[in-house]
Structure 1
Amino acid sequence: MSQTDHQQAKRRPDRAALVIAAALAIVAVVIAWSTASHGVGANYARVGPTTFPYFIAAVFLGLSIWTAFEAFRGDFPEREHQEISPILWIVGGLVAQMLLLKVAGFAIATGLLFAATARAFGRGPLWQTIPIGLVLSFVIWIIFAKGLQLSLPAGPLEQLF
């Protein structure tokens, strides 16, 4: 890349950073609008229940402006190539957990999520990580459902106990 090409690329705003800045601004507006539409809190106190959400909205707006400014300056470091396969494994594991939670129960659904996440991070084959995930998830189910008396979805594995 020649010096002119490098300067030309340096002058262009970072589009991904501008999208992030816009998303931060949208979050700030949604928080402020939601807080304003919930009605007035206690009027007798200077710092009421609406103070903190407005503060968070202001912080998000400030981050949005800062991100946009840096995007136009071109000061963000060059991003490395993103691999899509690990993201798909994790998202697929989450989807499988959500779909199987009521049908198969907590231990099986969460065990499959564990195995998919382990696969995404390159840890062990599925034939090895699925049983490990099932055992860990079942232990967690026992702790929460039996020990703490919390209601978690029970499937065939949990029904045995």
Structure 2
Amino acid sequence: MTDRSNTPEARRPDRAALVIAVVLAIIAAVIVYSTATAHGGSTTRIGPGAFPYAISACLFALAIWTGFEAWRGDFPEREEQEFGPVFWIVSGLAAQMLLLNTVGFSIATGILFAATARGFGKGPLWMTVPIGIVLSFVVWVIFAKGLQLSLPAGPLEHLI
């Protein structure tokens, strides 16, 4: 096995991590700008307006740290991305968003559950869809009936 730690290839900057560092810095700057230009709020020195500044300071520190580590090339080598699982999860989320108001929380979230399970390589859809619907219905009952929160109701939820 060869040691590549001293070769120029091993010390090249990680471009993807540098992009992430720049995005973190931009998000921090947007938070600072948005907080500084917001009207209203409290006149006290430490109040609700202090938290966005603290969050942006942490994001900016993470951006510097990420940029430094990326420049040194210290990030571990990433595995090859598999697009199949990502497709299942994203399509399940899209299905939930599209179906939420028509079929209700339980069925739409059950479909999301099944698609996510499929993306992680678990169970056939004929088994995970009903399991997801039952679990989602239990969550709906807890939130809608127990906590009196408003969640979209469909035909299954109207049975109660």
Length-normalised TM-score, structure 1? 0.90
2:69 is aligned to 70
1:29 is aligned to 29
Q: How much has 1:152 moved relative to structure 2?
A: 1.1
Q: How much has 1:48 moved relative to structure 2?
A: 2.9
1:86 is aligned to 85
Number of residue pairs aligned between Structure 1 and Structure 2: 160
Comparing 7-16 with 23-32, greater Cα deviation is found at 7-16
Q: How much has 1:2 moved relative to structure 2?
A: 7.9
Q: How much has 1:147 moved relative to structure 2?
A: 2.2
In the alignment, the residues of structure 2 paired with residue 41 and residue 71 of structure 1 have an alpha-carbon distance, to the nearest angstrom, of 39
2:48 is aligned to 49
Comparing 95-104 with 68-77, greater Cα deviation is found at 68-77
In the alignment, the residues of structure 2 paired with residue 91 and residue 64 of structure 1 have an alpha-carbon distance, to the nearest angstrom, of 27
Q: How much has 1:8 moved relative to structure 2?
A: 2.5
CA contact (8 A) 2:13 2:72 kept: yes
In the alignment, the residues of structure 2 paired with residue 145 and residue 42 of structure 1 have an alpha-carbon distance, to the nearest angstrom, of 34
1:67-126 Cα distance to aligned partner (Å, 9 max, x none):
111111111111122211111111111110000000110110000001011111111100
In the alignment, the residues of structure 2 paired with residue 139 and residue 3 of structure 1 have an alpha-carbon distance, to the nearest angstrom, of 55
Cα RMSD over matched residues? Answer: 2.1
Structure that is richer in helix per residue: 1
1:125 is aligned to 124
Distance 1:151 1:13, change over 3 A: same
Q: Which runs of 4+ in 1 moved over 6 A?
A: 1-4
1:103 is aligned to 102
In the alignment, the residues of structure 2 paired with residue 42 and residue 154 of structure 1 have an alpha-carbon distance, to the nearest angstrom, of 39
Comparing 95-104 with 64-73, greater Cα deviation is found at 64-73
Q: How much has 1:3 moved relative to structure 2?
A: 7.4
2:133 is aligned to 134
Q: Give the aligned residue type for 2:56.
A: A
1:9-28 pair list within 5 angstroms? 9-28=9-28
CA contact (8 A) 2:42 2:49 kept: no
Q: Give the aligned residue type for 2:116.
A: T
Comparing 71-80 with 48-57, greater Cα deviation is found at 48-57
Comparing 134-143 with 110-119, greater Cα deviation is found at 134-143
SS of the counterpart of 1:94? helix
Q: How much has 1:149 moved relative to structure 2?
A: 2.0
Distance 1:3 1:23, change over 3 A: same
| Structure 2 runs not aligned, ≥5 long | none
In the alignment, the residues of structure 1 paired with residue 45 and residue 137 of structure 2 have an alpha-carbon distance, to the nearest angstrom, of 49
2:112 is aligned to 113
Percent identity between the two aligned chains: 66
| Structure 1 runs not aligned, ≥5 long | none
